[in-house]
Amino acid sequence: MAIDVTGVLRQTDLLRSVQASDLEPIAAASRLRAVRRGQVLFTAGDPSDTVILVVSGRVKVVVRSADGAELTLTVVQPGGTLGELSVADGGPRSADAEALEDSRVLLVPKDLIAELSSRVPSVTQALMTSIAATLRRLTEAASDLVFLDLPRRVAKVLLSQPRRDDGVIELKMSQEELAHQVGGSRQSVNLALRGFERRGWIEVHDRAVTLRQAEALARFANQVSAI
């Protein structure tokens, strides 16, 4: 199905204020790509020649240890971008990116974004804002790994997810995906979820989680644990 590439670009925080005359050559040079669930878009150390826009689906950005342990740094939703850091410093990819589900992504040449940034102050500001947001998120995640035990980290991730008025978390995550986000094992995440369920804070059914007492879960998540 054909998409309006210019319109997709304009929906991003990075390029929403850019004039059509500047967006058109970027749209013409960009490539739409379909990726399957589990497909790797790039790995740490790869040359970074594109900024990637997620059109549909979800893409996780992860770091992996030599023995295969995995930590999810962020999950990029439709309309989100990844790869902005390379526009700023020209360096290689700093992590891996993998599709969490069948997705479509738009590959935007990095050099065109860099050239546009040199001419359009709003693009420069948007790049700085995006990089600052990433730094803040990673700083908070590092703090959580040090100061919060795993159940509290699980609680924070659950609370951060979009949910319906009835408390159902809209994005279904496997316990393995959740474990990768909190830096733990699937078994330890399962124990944490069952503990929350016994307290009546959540309800778990298959991969669906419903927050029944979000306030109680938030109070628990914000308590610094003694570890």
pLDDT digits (tens, 9 = 90+) for 72-95: 999 999 999 999 989 988 899 999
Q: Label residue 174 by pLDDT band (50, 70, 90).
A: confident
Q: Is the pLDDT at 226 greater than 50, yes or no?
A: no
Q: Is the pLDDT at 61 greater than 60, yes or no?
A: yes
Parse the chain into domains and list their residue ranges. 5-145, 148-221
| Continuous segment of H or E residues that includes residue 136 | helix 121-147
Give the pLDDT of residue 213: 95
Q: Is the pLDDT at 1 greater than 70, yes or no?
A: no
- Segment 36-41 shows an average pLDDT of 96
Q: Is the pLDDT at 191 greater than 90, yes or no?
A: yes
What architecture is domain 148-221? Answer: Orthogonal Bundle (1.10)
Q: Is the pLDDT at 225 greater than 80, yes or no?
A: no
Percent of the chain with pLDDT over 70: 97
Query: Is the Cα torsion angle 144, 149, 150, 151 positive or negative in sign?
Result: negative
Radius of gyration from C-alpha coordinates of the chain? 19
Give the pLDDT of residue 2: 66
In whole angstroms, give the CA distance from residue 95 to residue 180: 14
- Segment 212-217 shows an average pLDDT of 95
The CA-atom distances, in angstroms, between 157 and each of 153, 160, 180, 193, 198 are: 6, 5, 11, 12, 19
Q: Label residue 67 by pLDDT band (50, 70, 90).
A: confident
Give the pLDDT of residue 66: 85
In whole angstroms, give the CA distance from residue 108 to residue 93: 15
Same fold, 5-145 and 148-221: no
> Which fold does the domain 5-145 belong to in CATH?
Jelly Rolls (2.60.120)
Mean pLDDT of the chain: 91
Give the pLDDT of residue 218: 94
- Segment 117-144 shows an average pLDDT of 92
Query: Is the Cα torsion angle 157, 159, 164, 167 positive or negative in sign?
Result: positive
